[in-house]
Amino acid sequence: MAPKNQPVGGQAPVVQRIRLRYAKRGPLRFTSHRDFARAFERALRRAAVPIAFSQGFTPHPKISYASAAPTGVGSEAEYLEIGLQAEVDPGQLRVALDAALSPGLDILDAVIAGPGSLADRIDASHWRIELPTVEPADAEAAVRAFTGLEEVLVERMTKQGRRSFDARQAVARIDVTDQSAVPSEADGASCAIIDLVVRQVTPAVRPDDVLSGLRVAAGLEPPVPPRVTRLAQGTLTAQGDIVDPLDADREPALPG
């Protein structure tokens, strides 16, 4: 007989949900989403996290991911949610999981999940695109040509085959930033750095689609592969800022 308050299937119910923000840095930006998922499940076991499991013949840990970055892209703002069989302290959980993961896969934040869906709080992403050997003036000219068009059609292979879609309308902001103000791995060489905010649309417009759009609009073709980092994702405000999706889960500060 199953213990009291435990389903007949043998799995304890979810009593707490925790939302995590994590980063993919350095060489581990080449970790695929599937590879990260395996590494994270091993980290849960090593850290003795009381993860809840689904019911049925092949139970799976209760983990849901939101808008994972493409393989080869670094990120400071990846999110997931886990369901637990017992309550834990989010701060202690963050430290334990971070220690159980390889350096470069870093747990940055943990909060108790509030009401609503994590995915519903993400409608835009903020990206930094480093273009080694590209002169900033050439990048600025390409950005002006791109933003001066109402539509920039690009092609990409998808699960449904090769598709053509507009890369322009999803772009909320695109600028060439001051190279000296942004850390880069360009080793002193010319490097254009593009600051990009993209809305979530269907089909999704990724940084490489925007780079394809710059090629279509202005013939910009970097000779060296770009280095792309997601800096933030969340809700895009009217002022152009992105609100961290975990902010709504934090307890309000007590009046002082």
Ranges of each domain in the chain = 16-119, 122-242
- Name the residue with higher pLDDT: 161 or 134: 134
79: part of which helix (H) or strand (E)?
strand 74-84
The rounded distance, in Å, linking the Cα atoms of 215 and 2 is 62
| pLDDT value, residue 256 | 47
Q: Please tell me if the domain spanning 16-119 has the same topology as the one spanning 122-242.
A: yes
Pick from 158-162, 202-206, 214-218, 245-249: least confident: 158-162
What does each C-alpha distance from 196 to 77, 94, 173 come to in angstroms?
A: 15, 29, 6
pTM: 0.87
Domain 16-119 = CATH 3.30.70.580: yes
Alpha helix (H) residue ranges in the chain: 33-46, 90-100, 136-147, 207-218
Question: How do 171-176 and 16-24 pair as beta strands?
Answer: unpaired
Q: Quick count: other Cβ atoms within 10 Å of Cβ 254?
A: 5
Q: Return the CATH number of the domain spanning residue range 122-242.
A: 3.30.70
How large a percentage of the chain has pLDDT more than 70?
89
How far, in Å, CA of 21 to CA of 1, rounded? 39
| Average pLDDT of the residues in 86-102 | 98
The yes-or-no verdict on residue 4 having pLDDT over 60 is: no
Does the pLDDT value for residue 254 go beyond 50? no
Average pLDDT of every residue of the chain: 90
Q: What is the dihedral of CA 186, 191, 195, 200, to 10 degrees?
A: -80
User: Is the model's pLDDT at 162 over the cut of 60?
Assistant: yes
